[in-house]
Structure 1
C-alpha cells in the first residue's frame, strides 16, 4: 500500500552528508542526477522492503556516499556497488574500508552484466538502489532482462514513474508492461523532495519488484512480444485495432480476426490491457503467423 511521509526531519544525516561532501571536495553532479538520501526513516523503509538477510548478495547501483551501502553491508553476505562517478567510487572505498563484504566497481551499470560482477555460480541476488531519475527505465530493463535476473528489486525512483511502473489496467503504459512482465510491482512509500540533498524538484517513491519464478514470455520470444506491445502503445488514445494494424503493417481485417480469437475487444485502448491480455494477444498473433 502506498504511504506518504508527512513529517520528515533528520538534520543529523543531512549535516553529515554536507560535511562528507565538503571534506572530500565533492559536489552533487547534475549531469549524473545525483541526489543523496538524508532521511533515516526512508532508509529504514528501503531496508525493510528489501528484507536483506545474511545469506543475500546485493547489487547497489549508484551508492553515492554509502549511506545505504553501510546498512546493506551490516545485513547482507555481500554488497556489490556499481558507481559511475570515479570520485565517489574512490571516496566510498576509503569510507567503507572496514567492511570486507563490500566490493566497489567504478563502471557504468548499463555496460555491466550481472554475471560479470556476481560471485561464480551465484544465481540469486537482489538489486537495491536510489536510482538517478534519468536512468530509471534503462536500469530496470537492464536487470529484469538479464540472463541472471534479480529475485527482487527495491529502487527509489521519481513518484510519477513509480505510479507508471505499478499501474493497473486502465492506466498501463509501455513501462508498466515492460516491468510487470517480469515481476509483481508495488509502491512501498512516497518520499518528499526534502529527504534528499540537494533537494530535487519532484517527489520520489520506493518501488519493489518481486520477480516471477518462471518467465511469462521465454527470452527468445521477448522481442516479438514487445513488437506487439510497442505497436499497441504507438498511439495510446487510439483503438487497438488501429494502432496494431498501423504499427505491425497488417490489414485491419487480419488484426480484427486475431483480436477476436484472443477475446480482446478491438475498440479497447492499450492502457486497458493487463499482462495476461497482452500475453494472450501475442500468442494468437504468433499462431496467426504460423510461428512455433
Structure 2
C-alpha cells in the first residue's frame, strides 16, 4: 500500500499543498468536483480483477491514474479507459501508449455509445455518478457484467445485504444478478474518502427469469407504490388473487415492500399476470 498521508493535505500528483484557496490547488478543486479518489492498494486491485475475470472487450469508467487499467490489460482484456479529466487522460494515454490492449478516451463514460458486441464494465467509479453509471450498464444490450467499486452502503443496499431490497434491484432482477463480492477499506484510496467501499458485481443472466418485461415492471411499480402501506394492499388495487399468490410465494400478508425478496416478485408475477 502507498504511504499513508491521512494526516497531511497532499495533492494526488505532487508535494504538500500550500497557498491560497484554503490550501487547495486547482487540481485539488477539480478532484473534488469530479469525485476523484484514486485506488492505490494493490491487494484491492487484485480483488477487483479476480471478481471481474476480464476477457475480451472491457470498458473502464473513471480510469484515473490507470492502476486498474493496466491490471486489466495484463490479464488479456482489451480495455477502453474513459477519463473525463483532461490532465489525467493525457497522462494515462502517454504512460500506456506502448502497451497492448489499452485505449484511453477523454470523455464522459455515461455519454458513451455502448459496443454492439459483448463487453464488460470494470471500474473504480466516482461516487457522485454511481447511479448514472449503473443505469448506463443496465440499459446496454450487449453488457455481460459490471464489476464496480462503489460506496459500501450503496453496494449493500443494492444486493440486499441489509435484509431489504430496493426498487432498482427488484426491477432488474429477472435480467441481472446482483452480488456483494468484497469490501475495500477507505484507506485503500488517495485522497482517503469518508466511507469504505465494496465490490458490486452485476451479471446478466443467460436466460431471463420472466418473459414479459412490461408486465413485470408494472407489477413491481404497483407493489412499490406505497398504497396502503403493505405489498398486499398495493397489489390489491390492481390484481386479483393477491392473497393466494402471497401465500404461495411465502410472503406474509402484512409484509412491507422492502422485505420481499426479488425471487418472490418473480413468483408473484407468474401467478398474477398471464
TM-score of the superposed pair, with normalisation by structure 2: 0.80
Partner residue of 1:177?
Answer: 170
How does 1:47-196 map onto structure 2 within 5 Å? 47-52=49-54, 55-115=55-115, 122-123=117-118, 125-150=119-144, 152-167=145-160, 170-196=163-189
Q: Does the aligned pair in 1 maintain the 2:37–2:192 contact within 8 Å?
A: yes
- For 2:77 and 2:197, locate their aligned partners in 1 and report how far apart those are by CA, in whole Å: 28
Of the structure 1 ranges 165-174 and 76-85, higher mean CA displacement relative to structure 2 is found in 165-174
Confirm or deny: 8 A CA contact 2:183 2:197 kept in the other structure: yes
Aligned length: 257
State the alpha-carbon separation in 1 of the partners of residues 228 and 42 from structure 2.
Answer: 42
Partner of 1:242: 233
* Secondary structure at the counterpart of residue 90 of structure 1: helix
TM-superposed CA distance for 1:133, in Å, is 1.6
Structure 2 residue runs without a partner (length 5+): 16-25
Question: Alpha carbon RMSD of aligned pairs, Å?
Answer: 3.0
Task: Give the Cα–Cα distance (whole angstroms) in 2 for the partners of residues 238 and 176 of structure 1.
Answer: 20
1:281 counterpart = 2:265? no
- Alignment partner of 1:114: what SS? coil
1:233-258: CA deviation from partner (whole Å, max 9, x where unpaired): 3339921123345xxxx3xxx53524
State the shift of 1:222 in Å: 3.1
So what's the TM-score if we normalise by structure 1? Answer: 0.76
**Runs of 4+ with deviation above 4 angstroms:** none
Q: 2:39 aligns with which of 37, 40, 50?
A: 37
**Does the CA-based 8 Å contact 1:89-1:106 persist in structure 2?**
yes
Partner in structure 2 of residue 6 of structure 1: none
Q: Do the aligned partners of 2:241 and 2:272 also contact (CA within 8 Å) in 1?
A: no
Instruction: Specify which of 249, 257, 279 is matched with residue 241 of structure 2.
Output: 257
CA distance in 2 between partners of 1:216 and 1:192 (Å): 35
Asked whether the equivalents of residues 225 and 234 of structure 2 are also in contact (C-alpha less than 8 Å), the reply is yes
SS in 2 for 1:11: coil
Q: 1:62, CA displacement in angstroms?
A: 0.8
Distance 1:231 1:29 in 2: 41
Counterparts of 1:110 and 1:282 in 2: how far apart (Å)?
Answer: 32
1:233 aligned to 2:233? no
Q: Does 1:269 align with 2:248?
A: no
Quote how far apart the aligned CAs of 1:176 are: 2.9
Decide whether the 8 Å contact of 2:158 with 2:178 is kept in 1: yes
Q: Specify the SS of the correspondent of 1:21.
A: coil
Aligned residue number for residue 10 of structure 1: 2
Residue in structure 1 matched with residue 213 of structure 2 by the alignment = 222
Q: Secondary structure at the match of 1:205?
A: strand
Distance 1:89 1:178, change over 3 A: farther
- Relative distance call for 1:168 and 1:188 in structure 2 (3 A) is closer
Q: 1:200 aligns with which of 193, 206, 220?
A: 193
Distance 2:3 2:214 in 1: 48
Deviation at 1:61, TM superposition (A): 0.9
